[in-house]
Each structure stands twice: as structure tokens, then as C-alpha cells.
Amino acid sequence: MKETLSKLKFWYQKAGELGAQYYNAPYRAAIARAKREEDDLFMLLVFSEMMGVPNPASWYCLELQPLLLERFHDWHQRMGMEHSPLDNFRCC
Amino acid sequence: MSAIVLLVLGLGGMALGYFFYSRFIANHIYKLDENFKTPAHEMEDGVDFVPTNKFVLWGHHFTSVAGAAPIVGPAIAVIWGWLPAFLWVTLGTIFFAGVHDFGAIWASIRNRAKSVGSLTGEVVGKRARAVFMIVIFLVLLMVNAVFGVVIAKLLINNPGAVVPVWGAVAVALVIGQLIYRFKFNLAWVSLIGIIVLYGLIYVGPSMPITLPDSTFGLSASASWILLLFLYAAIASLLPVWMLLQPRDYINGLQLFVGLILLYAAVIIANPSVVAPMINMDLPANTPSMVPLLFVTIACGAISGFHGLVASGTTSKQLNKETDARFVGYFGAVGEGALALAAIIAATAGFASLADWQAVYSAFGKGGVLAFVNGGATILHAGTGIDAAVASTMLTVMAALFAGTTMDTGLRLQRYIFQEWGEIYNIKWMGKALPATLLAVASCLVLAFGAGGADGSGGLLIWPLFGTTNQLLAGLTLLVITVMLVRRKSPTIYTLAPLVFLLVMTLAALLLQLKGFYDQQKWFLLGLDIVVLVAAILVTLECAAALKDEKRKAAEAE
């Protein structure tokens, strides 16, 4: 009985995984792209002050900067800036 | 004759095609290699390139290529009798569609998962690519205009389907929110979604909705078409997770349930095919079977649209090269099975030959309505589902498919306008809203320009959709054939379908040209000439590219 239950659970999980893949497969790229665009906008807000754009929430953005630095390089390249636009932070 | 014979012969033939012919093509022609590193692995980025389970990918590929066309085409073509349509669907799937769809995936993955459009440019030449862009724009334009009319007709003829058809949009919106915002379990959401959808189908017939005969001087058909385009424009502008993704998903599930029910009903009820094997008593003005049969049934036998999906998204997600056979060929078999169901419904779902003849009183009269009514009779007899509910179920199935194809088609057309905006530096055209409006406007011009005040222009140009779509398939087969010449593989298995398609398409276009001229339909005449010029250019490109490749191959030896 226990074995049957665990087998059933395994098949349910497997079916769930395949179902989720089937749901996502056709639109995975479009959604990932939309998410990236949102992230880019957020990144722009966080780093806006450093690029001379006044930001009333700069204190909070400053706190967030270390969390985003890892993705900073990809972001500035995507934005069309070959090298880091910030004087005090050179990632490349 | 019993419909079960058709079912067994058709599905049996396609199964044999999959097990034997596709294996032969995979091993000896395309020479699939299990160790070949597919672009999904080579360029994996978690966005476009993601190795995907082959069953999942098959589901995605099949539901993307299955629109209303495999239902509309065969249901119109049985006017020539059931045998020609049956043979073309079965043999077309085995020897044409399977090889084409499977080949499109193979050609794409061997070229870094590029789309057929850019492959044409690289493998054949820039001129061929320019023709390709025109052909693809025309196909999208026609798909959108045709499907608008098809859904409007369905909603007028079955007012009980209005609630479930529009209700499905609400169901999809709720499902999207539940999954993305509230992180609900997908299995439960799908189950509840399907139950609600079928619940709507059940209550639909008791709450029929009809539009007034005239609203601001517009007929009910014209009003529905305008409403549908308004919906499609909004849907194509919304983020995909909100409406398109859950809608396609729930539609896919509904297709599987619907097909299984219909086939089960045929086996239980064992209806007789009342339509003639070959119809000698054709209504006046019915065009000649050869070549029109081969362009009337496009999807379900061979369709260029499949090549776009195969090389657009499917190829980027293929886990192993050998999976291409299952995903591509078996995807075509799935579509063939849907077309076969349409043939059975439109020939065996009538009480007598006289009833059938009453529906097929003129060319284009049968169509999707014959599928709905015939299929509903079979469903009722086989499963005991109430006749009105069964007919609503099939109407919803056809309308939802046409609807999702319209959503995607309009979105793709918008991209083309945006691309043109960028190429020609027209800034306003590069933005989403104006580009969408332009896409909708071009479809409406076609629907109302060719069809007059009731907007039925889409259906009038159906044979032109067939020819344009077959041209697209021809281009894909050309790319595959050129690649085969370069690899010194036998080319006859792709060249023969290519030549056949081009000959039939050219013949159909010439025949229609004369017809439009005689009937003084100038709009259609103009459109026919555009497609004809494209067809001739494709034929010339085919001949030149193949001659060139053969010469190079000979010189290298």
C-alpha cells in the first residue's frame, strides 16, 4: 500500500512537471524577455542617481546596489554601453 | 460504408507512415545523429534555447500548428466526395507533411536554429528571401481575415456557443492570474479550468445570444467580425502570460479531450458514410477537383505555416536531433488525425445522402458548419451527449482554435509592421499600438473590401490562402532539398512533393485568375496576380538554386 502510494506520488509529480513544461514551453522566451525588461527598468532606477538623474528614493536605491552588482555588467552592455558608465565602479 | 473503416485505414496508414517511412527518412535521408549537439544545448540561454522533453515539445508543436484550417479545408473539400479528400489527407500526411515538418526542424537545427526565412536567404539567395517575406505577410493577412469570418459564422449559426466562446477568454484570464500571481498548483488549476469550460459549454445552449440584424447599419456577421478584431488587437497587446499563454494551454487540453471523444464516438456509434465516394453530381460553379483539392486542404495534408513554427520555436528547444522525427513527423500525424476527424464528421454525420446534398449545395457551403453539425450527430449517437451540447462543444472547439490562431497571427503581423517601421525609419510605425492598428486595418480592408458590407471577404479568399500557404511549403522544401544536394543525400523524397506542390499551386492560381476575371472580382484578381507572381518567382528560384547546387556538386567530384 505504502509502495503504491509513493509510486502514485512519483507519477503525480512527474505529470505535474511535464504539465508545467507544456504550459510554459511556447511562451518561455516571451515571458523571460518581459521579465528582463522589467529588471532593466528597475536597474535603471537603482543606478539613476549615479548617472545624474535625480531620484527621491536614492537612499533606498543605494542600499540595493550591492545586490544588483553581479548583474550590472550584463545590464550596461545590454543598454548599449560598452564599458561601465560609473567612475567609481569598473566591472570591465 | 462504415466510418470505422475510414478511421482504421486513415489512422493505420499514418501510423505505418510514422513507424516505417519516417524511420527510413530519418536514417537514410536526413541521417539524424543522436550525438549531434543541438542548438538548444549549444546556445542554451534559458530564454529561447532550452532543451525540452520530446513529449512536451510535441504537445507544443502540435497545438501551435493545429488551427481551424485542418477542420475548414477538409470539410469544404469533401464536396468532391470522401475518397479524394481522404486520400490526400492520408497520403499527404505520410509523404508530404511529415517529411516537410520534420525536415524543417532538421534544416533549422543544422543551421543554428535559424528560421525558414533567414535560411532561405542563406541557402537559396536574397531574392528568394524577399519573396518569402511577401508570401508570409499574405499568409498572415489571409489567416486573420479568414478566421474572423469563420468564427463570426459559427457564432451566428450556433448562438448557444457565444457564452462558452467568450467565457473561455474569461477562464483563461483567471487561470493566468491564479498561476502567475497566486502561484496555484497547475494540475488543480487546469482541472478546474477544464471543468468550468465544459460547464459553460453545457449551459451555453440554454443562454443563446444573438446580435441584432442591424447595428449602425452593420449586419450581425459584420458586427461579430469587428468585435473579434477588437478582441484580437487587445489580446495581442497584452502581456502573453495574461491571456495568450493560459488560453493556448486550455485550448490544447480541450483539443485532446475533443479528439478522443469524437474518435470514441465514431467507434461506438459506427455511423455510415452517406456522402458519395466520388461526387459526380457536383453543384454548379464547383471548381475542378484537380488542382483545387490540393490547395483547399492545406493544413492536414501539407502546410507552409508548419515550417514557420518548426523552425521558429520548436527547433530552438529540441533536446536531441533524433527527437525531430517524433516532434515533426508525429506532429503532422496529429494534424492529419484532426483533418480525418473533420472528413468523417462532414461525410458520416448526416442521416441520408439527400441531407448531405442539401448542405453541400454549392462550393464553400459545407465547411466548418458541416463539421459541427455532422460531428455533433456522431457525438450524440456515440456518447449520448445532448445534441445541442455536442454541437456547441464542436463549435467552441473550432472557434477557440481559430481565435488563438488569430491572436498569434495578429501579433506576428504587428511585428512585421514594426520591423518595416525600423527598416524604413518610420518612428510611429515601430510602436506597438499603431502597428497593431495597421495590422487590424489591413485585415479589415481584406474582409470588407473583398466581401462587401458583411465582411465575408476572408472566406472568399480561402483558395488563395491555400495557394499562398502551399507556396510557403514549397520554399521550405526547396531549402531542405538544396541542403540534401550539398550533403549528397537522395533528393527525390523532398523534390517530388516540391514539384507536385508547385505544379498544383500554379495551376490553381491560373484557374482562379480566369474565374475572377469572368466574375469581374477585381480585388481578388489583383491579389491572385500578386500570389501568382510570387509563385512564378519561387519556381524560377527553385530551378536556379537546384541547377547551381547540382553543378557545384558535379564540379567537386
Q: Which of B22-26, B78-82, B244-248, B481-485 has the lowest mean pLDDT?
A: B244-248
Assign 3-state DSSP to chain A and report helix, strand, coil percentages, each to 5: 75, 0, 25
Out of B46, B239, B252, name the one closest to residue A32 (CB): B46
pLDDT digits (tens, 9 = 90+) for B371-384: 999 999 999 999 99
pLDDT digits (tens, 9 = 90+) for A19-34: 888 888 888 888 888 8
Interface of B with A (CB under 8 A): 46-48, 50, 52-53, 55-57, 59-60, 63-64, 179, 185-187, 190, 239-241, 244-246, 248-249, 252, 313, 316-317
Per-residue pLDDT band at A68 (split at 50, 70, 90): confident
Provide the β-strand partners of residue B219.
B214
Candidates B158, B165, B176; CA nearest to B200 is B165
Q: What is the pLDDT of residue B453?
A: 79
Per-residue pLDDT band at B140 (split at 50, 70, 90): confident
Per-residue pLDDT band at A18 (split at 50, 70, 90): confident
A74 CA: distance to closest CA in chain B (Å): 13
- Whole-number mean pLDDT of chain B? 90
Q: What is the pLDDT of residue A89?
A: 67
Q: Where are the beta strands (DSSP E) in B244-340?
A: none
Q: Are B135 and B534 in contact (CB under 8 A)?
A: yes
Side chain identity at residue B48, one-letter code: D
Asked whether the predicted pLDDT for residue B4 surpasses 70, the reply is yes
Q: What is the pLDDT of residue A49?
A: 79
Cβ contact B186–A23 (<8 Å): yes
Whole-number Cα distances in Å, B115 to B118, B120, B309, B413 = 6, 9, 9, 16
Candidates B125, B108, B244; CA nearest to B180 is B244
Chain A / chain B CB contacts < 8 angstroms: 61
Q: What is the pLDDT of residue B33?
A: 95
Which residues does chain A have within 8 Å of residue B316's beta carbon, measured at their own beta carbons? 29
B521 CA: distance to closest CA in chain A (Å): 40
Q: What is the pLDDT of residue B418?
A: 82
Cβ contact A18–B56 (<8 Å): yes
Mutation target to probe the A interface, by most A beta carbons within 10 A, among B44, B183, B189, B249 is B249
| Cα–Cα dist B293/B463, whole Å | 9
Cβ contact A33–B50 (<8 Å): no
* Mean pLDDT (whole number) for B49-67: 89
Candidates B256, B278, B327; CA nearest to B83 is B278
Alpha helices in B185-303 (DSSP H): 186-203, 220-237, 244-269, 289-296
Q: What is the pLDDT of residue B224?
A: 92
ipTM of this predicted complex? 0.77
| Cα–Cα dist A53/B348, whole Å | 71
Q: What is the pLDDT of residue B36?
A: 96
Candidates B454, B452, B545, B449; CA nearest to B498 is B545
* Mean pLDDT (whole number) for B298-327: 92
- Report pTM: 0.89
Cβ contact A15–B64 (<8 Å): no
Per-residue pLDDT band at B5 (split at 50, 70, 90): very high
B59: nearest CA in chain A?
A22
Residue B447 or residue B323, greater confidence: B323
A70 contacts: CB under 8 Å, gap ≥ 6? none
* Mean pLDDT (whole number) for B340-351: 94
Cβ contact B240–A32 (<8 Å): no
Q: What is the pLDDT of residue A58?
A: 82
Which residues does chain B have within 8 Å of residue A25's beta carbon, measured at their own beta carbons? 52, 56-57, 59-60, 317
Out of B52, B249, B313, name the one closest to residue A23 (CB): B249
Per-residue pLDDT band at A65 (split at 50, 70, 90): confident
Candidates B306, B244, B39; CA nearest to A30 is B244
Length of chain B: 557
Per-residue pLDDT band at B42 (split at 50, 70, 90): very high
- Whole-number mean pLDDT of chain A? 84
Asked whether the predicted pLDDT for residue B162 surpasses 90, the reply is yes
Asked whether the predicted pLDDT for residue B278 surpasses 80, the reply is yes
3-state secondary structure of B318: strand
Q: What is the pLDDT of residue B480?
A: 94
Which residues does chain B have within 8 Å of residue A28's beta carbon, measured at their own beta carbons? 47, 50
| Cα–Cα dist B449/B442, whole Å | 10
Percent of chain B with pLDDT over 70: 100
Cβ contact A25–B248 (<8 Å): no
Q: Are B17 and B477 in contact (CB under 8 A)?
A: no
Out of A20, A26, A32, name the one closest to residue B47 (CB): A32
Ranges A15-24, B159-168, B454-463, most confident: B159-168
Cβ contact B48–A22 (<8 Å): no
Asked whether the predicted pLDDT for residue B555 surpasses 90, the reply is no
Asked whether the predicted pLDDT for residue B462 surpasses 80, the reply is no
Cβ contact A20–B50 (<8 Å): no
User: Which cell is B555 given?
Assistant: 564540379
Asked whether the predicted pLDDT for residue B544 surpasses 70, the reply is yes
Out of A16, A20, A30, name the one closest to residue B240 (CB): A30
Cβ contact A22–B240 (<8 Å): no
